[in-house]
Amino acid sequence: MAATADPLQRGFSAPDFTLPGTDGRQHSLAELRGPKGLLVMFICNHCPYVQAVADRMVRDARELHALGVHTVAISSNDVAAYPEDSFEHMQQFAAQHDFGFPYLYDDSQDVAKAYGAVCTPDFFGFNADLQLQYRGQLDASRKQAAAPDVRRDLFEAMKQIAETGVGPDEQYPSIGCSIKWKEEA
């Protein structure tokens, strides 16, 4: 089922976390932050919205890294109900798309809840002080291939944040599959 990300809460401080990555290491918010900002992406392997934009996410993350903005992807889906989002499948997905950034597993779903993530993909762009400045779409393509001249909303916003510390006033919410929450016991 499609879900739309909540609107921007400018200035929201990035919640701290330490999570296991597909690279076999533990990663913390403190070590992931870049000198000019941090892009936190909630994604999963099976979502057609994520699959449609995965290569563009990788491209944008690579270009943002050169601007001092680091990137991390987090999967928080219930793998009991969606085994294609398992840690092993996360490793395969990261390798298939040549992720140049950590891909972390949020088994407890506590990190997704702390951030207020609702869909995959859901993008959170923080400045150097880890204050939220962007909560929007990668671009306008959704589940289909992007036109060659599509505006790169996420990249342009994060570039502005790297340069000024402040995100754009106009932002369009990300749309994707709802996060697959575990049933409460």
Q: Mean per-residue pLDDT for 101-117? A: 97
Confidence check: pLDDT of 185 > 70: no
Q: Mean per-residue pLDDT for 56-75? A: 97
Domain 2-178 belongs to what topology? Glutaredoxin (3.40.30)
Query: DSSP letters of 37-87?
Result: EEEEEE--SS-HHHHHHHHHHHHHHHHHHHTTEEEEEEE---TTT-GGGSH
Domain boundaries, the chain: 2-178
Per-position b or e across 172-182, b if 16+ CB within 10 A of its CB: ebbbbbebbee
pTM: 0.95
| pLDDT tens string 21-32 | 999 999 999 999
Confidence check: pLDDT of 86 > 80: yes
Half-sphere exposure of residue 38, counting CA atoms within 13 Å on the CB side? 20
